[in-house]
Amino acid sequence: MKPVVAIVAVVAVVAALITAFLAQQWVANQTARPVAAIRPPHQEVLVMARDVPAGTALTGDDLRSADWPMGAATRFAIPAEGNAKDKYVGMIPRRPLFEGEPLIESAIVRPEAGLLAAILESGMRAASVAITNASAVSGFIAPGDHVDVILAADFQRADQDAVGKGGPIVRYAAETVLTDVVVLAIDQQISRGKEAATLQGKTATVAVSPKQAEVLATASMLGQLSLVLRPQETNTTETQPAAAPGTKPYTPDIEASQAMRALTGGAPAGNGGSGIRINRAGVVSTRSF
């Protein structure tokens, strides 16, 4: 081997060894060096210092400032700048506000606005239903609950002229006229009590659409309305099951009472050809209409 080639080979080997050593040292230094935490941009915003129910005016103790990452969570939040906190004392929450939640403009209204009108969603109406302990789950229905409205009526009393003249006999029946409506208030109370006490009210105010308000007003003239409490976990997911084929979208008296079914021979009410069984001193006869 020529001396020049040998020298070049030795130099190349030495250079490779030095390069490998330096690379190893660099990797070791990078591994030992702590990685600086990358902190995203933050912003001081107003958040709830404690839970506040809907309709309760905010106080200074209800609000505090907190450092929040800028992004979707703070897009509509209120910056905690200067005396921002003082500007929102006395505002009325439209819905329950929870501790740690950023305060946003759409969740509150000024106290000058009508309180009930303020908590109504756009396009909705507030309508009242007369209630008793028996028709409102013994007072355990509270503002914020979701309920169904059931109408129970004596339809025979309304159709007395048709009885005996070949017309249909319509007796007692019940049906669900509204499903999954929100209770806004019981009498004038629009939030649950801290003790979660039962509310013995005489009227319940519910949030309904304009058409539902008409249905509710009409149903109230037909008979007695009852509120049926829905489970909390299914308020937004449960749908009204479709009626089985051949069944009615209401419950007539013959489905609720075996005695009524026997007296009418099991004939459904309101079919124009039903009959009743008459017992005269042990002699049973059937009279058709």
Domain boundary among 195, 213, 237: 237
Instruction: Grade residue 165 by pLDDT with cuts at 50, 70 and 90.
Output: low
Instruction: Grade residue 289 by pLDDT with cuts at 50, 70 and 90.
Output: very low
Mean pLDDT computed over 59-84: 81
Q: How far apart are CA 243 and CA 101, in angstroms?
A: 42
Instruction: Grade residue 269 by pLDDT with cuts at 50, 70 and 90.
Output: very low
Q: Lowest-confidence range among 26-40, 121-135, 214-228, 261-275?
A: 261-275
Quick one: pLDDT at residue 272? 42
Q: Lowest-confidence range among 4-8, 111-115, 132-136, 242-246?
A: 242-246
Claim to verify: residue 204 and residue 219 sit in the same structural domain = yes
Mean pLDDT computed over 216-222: 90
Claim to verify: residue 17 and residue 48 sit in the same structural domain = no
CA R_g for the chain:
36
Task: Tally the domains of the chain.
Answer: 3
Q: Please give, one letter per residue, the 3-state secondary structure of 81-145.
A: CCCHHHHCCCCEECCCECCCCECEHHHEECCCCCHHHHHCCCCCEEEEEECCCHHHHHHCCCCCC
Claim to verify: residue 113 and residue 72 sit in the same structural domain = yes
Mean pLDDT computed over 181-194: 77
Lookup: tokens for 145 = 């609950």
Provide the CATH number for the domain around residue 107: 3.90.1210.10
Mean pLDDT computed over 104-108: 84
Claim to verify: residue 99 and residue 177 sit in the same structural domain = no
Claim to verify: residue 107 and residue 84 sit in the same structural domain = yes
Smallest CA-to-CA distance from 217 within 255, 182, 256, 178 is with 178
Answer whether residue 162 shows pLDDT above 80.
no
Domain that holds residue 162: 125-237
Residue 166 lies in a domain: yes
Mean pLDDT computed over 27-34: 66
Claim to verify: residue 136 and residue 231 sit in the same structural domain = yes
Claim to verify: residue 130 and residue 232 sit in the same structural domain = yes
Answer whether residue 210 shows pLDDT above 80.
yes
Mean pLDDT computed over 54-68: 85
> Where is pLDDT greater, at 148 or 17?
148
Residue 204 lies in a domain: yes
Claim to verify: residue 231 and residue 132 sit in the same structural domain = yes
Q: What is the pTM of this model?
A: 0.59
Residues 159-168: contacts with CB under 8 Å, at least 24 apart: 163/289, 164/289, 166/272, 166/289, 167/272, 167/289, 168/269, 168/270, 168/271, 168/272, 168/274, 168/289
Quick one: pLDDT at residue 150? 92
